[in-house]
Homo-oligomer: A and B are copies of this chain.
Amino acid sequence: MPRGEETVRTSKSTAAAIRFDVVDAGPSIAAVTARVAEIGGRIRALATVRRLDGDPPLAEIELEVEGVTEAALVAALDGLDDVRTVHLTRALDSIFGKRIIVVGGGAQVAQVALGAVSEADRHNLRGERISVDTIPLVGEEHIAAAVRAVADLPRARLLVLAGSIMGGDISVAAEELRAVGIPIIALNMVGSITDHVDLVVSDPVQAGTMAVMAVADTAGFDLARQRGRRY
């Protein structure tokens, strides 16, 4: 079911965040999530960040939970047999913030990143938190898979497609991504992609700059009012 941006809530995180070691087995993690539910928490993120050899093998888990205090979360998990070494951390949202994702050819990705990082620097100085995350890729299949996977990335707010020729399944994937509420800026390039994005920008540095302006609360740039334009 396609969804417009207007139905997607993006509230500020107030999650309690901890990192802990746990015995690396399915029931151990199920015990953690059951305990979180018991104390009234809603899990926002649970990620295995590292695995540690040993007897038994351990997994190091980053956990973010809404609706509970950090103290309550630590107390709840400390009582579980399989949980070791609980550290308080900070929700990734509050550190790395909104993510601009840049995908495409290395030369263009680097120039988009230059514009986006420079612009993010200016907004982050004023209290924003904007990250610029990139991957250089070649080939319709790999790029289309990356476009689809942006929908699965926590905190991804906008995709920039940086290349010289894109179309086919990449254009199909672009429409799927926009349908879940993530807008796309593309460089002006060969192929059908420029008909399947929100904005087309010829200069990669400006494309990166506009991408950051579009997601920054500290900027007065409204992508919705630019939709379909080319610069």
Contacts and interface: CB of A to CB of B under 8 A. Distances in A.
Interface of A: 1, 3, 7-11, 17, 19, 24-27, 29-30, 33-34, 36-37, 40-54, 57, 59-60, 62, 67, 85, 89-90, 92, 95-97, 105-107, 109-110, 113-114, 117-118, 120-122, 124-125, 129-138, 145-146, 148-149, 151-154, 156, 180-181
The 7 closest A-B CB pairs, nearest first, are: A106-B121, A30-B37, A121-B136, A33-B33, A133-B133, A26-B37, A95-B149
Contacts of A151: 19, 49, 89
Given A10-B51, A26-B37, 5 more contacts: A9-B50, A29-B43, A49-B154, A113-B114, A113-B134
A135 to B, nearest CB: 4
A151 B120 CA distance: 23
A1 to B, nearest CB: 7
A182 B30 CA distance: 28
A122 to B, nearest CB: 8
Given A34-B33, A49-B153, A96 B136 contact: no
Quick one: copies of this chain in the complex?
A: 2
A149 B29 contact: no
A215 B110 CA distance: 19
Given A1-B85, A152-B19, A44 B48 contact: yes
A181 to B, nearest CB: 7
Contacts of A51: 8-11
A80 to B, nearest CB: 14
Given A19-B151, A34-B33, A146 B110 contact: no
Nearest to A35: B30
Contacts of A156: 49
A95 B150 CA distance: 10
A118 B134 CA distance: 11
Contact of A134 (B19, B48, B131, B152): B131
B95 A145 contact: yes
